[in-house]
Structure 1
Amino acid sequence: MPALDPTPVISIRPLVIPVPGRGDDLQIRVSAPAEGSDLPVIVMAHGFGLDLTAYDPLVDHWTAHGFVVVQPTFLDSASLGVAPTDPRYPTIWEVRVDDLVRVLDGLPRLLDALPGLAERVDLDRIALAGHSWGAQSIGMLLGARVIGADGTPGESRLDPRVSAGVLLAATGIGGDDLSPFAQENFAFMSPEFDSLTVPSIVVAGDHDQSMLSSRGPDWFTDVYRLSPGARHLVTLFGGEHSLGGIQAYGSTQTTDESPERVALVRETTTAFLRTALGVDDGAWARVAAAVSAGAGAASAGAVGRIDSK
């Protein structure tokens, strides 16, 4: 995908949605192109411990390509300091999903915070994106459910307002596939993907070895294999959990820093969303063909591959 000319972007943070009983009100950042109309929306769910300032390498690219990006801060964020001893801690995974619904409910008011933006947005074109724990959070609004202690799937949180999903390093199935520590402490990490029906793209690194899983990096491809909604899988060669460094520019926490991997995540997710949301019907086909041609012509230097079903 060719580089774009610099695109003016407007951004505001923090916007606040009061949530009585949550303990901390919900803080949100909204970023958008300064120009354009009929803009689609991406609600981005951060991974464990991060906040609304994360994922600029993705946010900058998405806004440059005509998306409004909305980023909430969840209760697990290090910026809020909610400790494991806090009585809210055991239900943070559920509050995350509630927060996403609050953001969707509040979109008209949030967009009004930037003058003129609400009139330029198409609220019939909404996507969710999430990384790591954020991917599990958004997965529930895409149709995935959590298997309870009795072995049956819990309630559906499928949200009809959402038309597409981006699942970045999404954790796999639970049960015996979890490490003993995860089984004891993270029982909610037992998703059922049969009901995840919203069209989605999955991105995984083939060197992403999680301490929470008894399996290898293929654990992060479960959602692609097992859900009817996941249409495409982008596998990053040598990619670990940061997928090359999507969480921040120059992050010292990135163990697999690679501008090339980040570029592939940017290009494939943007193209998928532009096609899935009806912005550009040919965007995905063009990028998929380019990635496939590159992988076939120079496999030694290829960044990744795409599988589709």
Structure 2
Amino acid sequence: MRAHDHALVGTAKEIPINTATAVYTFSPVVLPIADRVKELEVKVNFPVTGEDLPIVILSHGQGRSNHLNSLEGYTPLAEFWAAHGFVVLQPSHLSGTYYSLPSTKGQELHWQDRSRDIIRVLDGLDGIEAAVPALKGRLNKAQIAVAGHSLGAWTAAIALGAKNVSPADGSVTNLADARIKAGVILTGTGKAGDDLSEMGHRMVPFYGPDFSEMKTPVLVVCGDEDVSPHLTWRGADWHADPYHLSPGPKDLLWIKGAKHGLGGISGWDTQETQDESPQRLAAVQRLTTAYLRSALYAGDKSWEEATKALAQHAELGSVESKK
């Protein structure tokens, strides 16, 4: 973990955060899965010190990169969360350029297998712990969150209780897992049907979201300039649908000036990030960490303190909540 903040984090430094510690990264842990075309590879990030550590499973997005759509991506989030008290597990999904595997009709982008990867990681926690000597006996397997960005946000949403109703045949995919106590949806996807653009219908023909039973506490993070015409004719508000269309408790965080990359969460200085900003990234890092700490550490007040600080800095963003 870096010993100090980037010089350009600006007022994001006013959002309080617990003291960071150094981070170990162990990669890959390989989980043999009988019904998967490839073994499941997982990167493990965790703090050097601390016991009874909550777990966050982080699902990568798709994008156009050669490496970020795998366990190699999202270092700015994974390392930060680990430095502030979490074991962060990053599976490589079959959809990534990392594998460049063909997909079948109805399973474009290996979307269903992506969500099954979350369950596979949960089922494999004992094996992951055994494979990483410095982690032995330090996991809190009762406190688990799932996070995801972009396509990974939909992956996470399904594990958090959202359902997919196939536009083709009406079949329902429901992979909610009660072991998951909280979630973070980063620039997620909204309503389908007439809300999708023509290209969106071609890109995600399988997509038919139903958020009405996503009851798990979730923080939905959106950029107020995240316009995605390749998927929807709507504006940035489309990405907030997982908040508005699901029951509480939910929190909605708008990041000021952010596009789909939220300041650079997928990797350091990447071309995919159209809104590169150390300040914006630092705000996302700190606020998501605060949310996760309050969701997974009993009695923790980090989210309350962070949102109070954010209210004094409208240039960073805003939060709304529902019970």
* Higher RCO (CA < 8 A, seq sep 6+): 2
Whether the 8 Å CA contact 1:153–1:192 is kept in 2: the answer is: no
- Tell me by how many angstroms 1:278 deviates: 2.8
Identity %: 39
Structure 1 residue 130 corresponds to structure 2 residue 143: no
Query: In structure 2, what is the Cα distance between the partners aligned to 1:228 and 1:156?
Result: 17
Answering whether residue 22 of structure 2 is matched by residue 8 of structure 1, we say yes
- Which residue identity lines up with residue 58 of structure 1 in the other structure? L
Q: Would the aligned equivalents of 2:44 and 2:87 in 1 still touch at CA under 8 Å?
A: yes
Quick one: which amino acid aligns to residue 62 of structure 2?
A: F
Q: Which amino acid aligns with 1:232?
A: D
Does residue 25 of the first structure (1) align with residue 25 of the second (2)? no
Corresponding residue number in structure 2 for 1:305: 318
Residue number in structure 2 paired with 1:57: 76
- Report if the CA contact (8 A) 2:167-2:206 is conserved: no
The amino acid that maps onto 1:262 is L
Aligned to 1:172: 190
Partner residue, 1:90: 108
Q: 1:231 aligns with which of 235, 246, 250?
A: 250
What is the aligned-residue RMSD (CA, Å)?
2.0
TM-score (norm 2): 0.88
Asked whether the equivalents of residues 202 and 221 of structure 1 are also in contact (C-alpha less than 8 Å), the reply is yes
Q: Deviations over 1:261-295 (max 9, x none)?
A: 11111111111111111344211110000001222
**DSSP 3-state at the match of 2:133:** coil
- Give the aligned partner of residue 38 of structure 1: 52
1:118 is displaced (CA, Å) by: 3.1
Supply the AA of the counterpart residue of 2:234: R
For 2:88, the equivalent position in structure 1 comes to 69
Gapped regions of structure 1 (runs ≥ 5): 296-301
| Matches for 1:152-191 after TM superposition, within 5 Å | 154-191=172-209
Q: TM-score, normalised by structure 1?
A: 0.92
Query: Aligned-pair distance for 1:3?
Result: 6.5
CA contact (8 A) 2:165 2:208 kept: yes
| Residues 54 and 86, structure 2, Cα contact 8 Å, conserved in 1 | yes
Q: Classify 1:240/1:52 alpha carbon distance in 2 versus 1 (closer, same or farther; 3 Å).
A: same
Name the residue aligned to 1:286.
305
Q: What residue number does 1:249 align with?
A: 268
Which shifted more, 64-73 or 6-15? 6-15
- Matched AA of 1:170: G
Q: Is contact 1:56–1:248 with CA below 8 Å preserved after alignment? A: yes
Q: Report how far residue 23 of structure 1 moved.
A: 2.1
Q: Secondary structure at the match of 1:57?
A: helix
Partner-residue secondary structure (3-state), 1:58: helix
Partners of 2:20 and 2:312 in 1: how far apart? 28
Could you list the runs of 4 or more consecutive aligned residues of structure 1 that deviate by over 4 angstroms after TM superposition? 2-6, 86-89, 150-153
- Distance (whole Å) between structure 2 residues aligned to residue 129 and residue 97 of structure 1: 12
Distance (Å, rounded) in 2 between the aligned partners of 1:208 and 1:38? 37
Cα distance change of structure 1 residues 151 and 289 upon mapping to structure 2, 3 Å threshold: farther
Q: Is the 8 A contact 1:108 1:118 kept in 2?
A: no
Q: Is the 8 A contact 1:201 1:230 kept in 2?
A: no
CA distance in 1 between partners of 2:20 and 2:217 (Å): 30
- 2:237 paired residue number: 218
Other-structure match for 1:298: none
Match of 2:124 among 75, 96, 106: 106
Q: C-alpha offsets along residues 130-177 of structure 1, whole Å, 9 cap, x if unaligned?
A: 000001011011110012237857142110100000000001010010
Check whether the contact 1:83–1:89 (CA below 8 A) recurs between aligned residues: no
Q: 1:134 & 1:258 partners in 2: Cα distance?
A: 22
**Displacement after TM superposition at 1:53 (Å):** 1.4
Distance 2:246 2:281 in 1: 25
1:276 and 2:295 aligned: yes
The 8 Å contact of residues 224 and 230 in structure 1, kept in 2 or not, is answered as: no
Query: Is residue 2:263 matched to residue 1:261?
Result: no
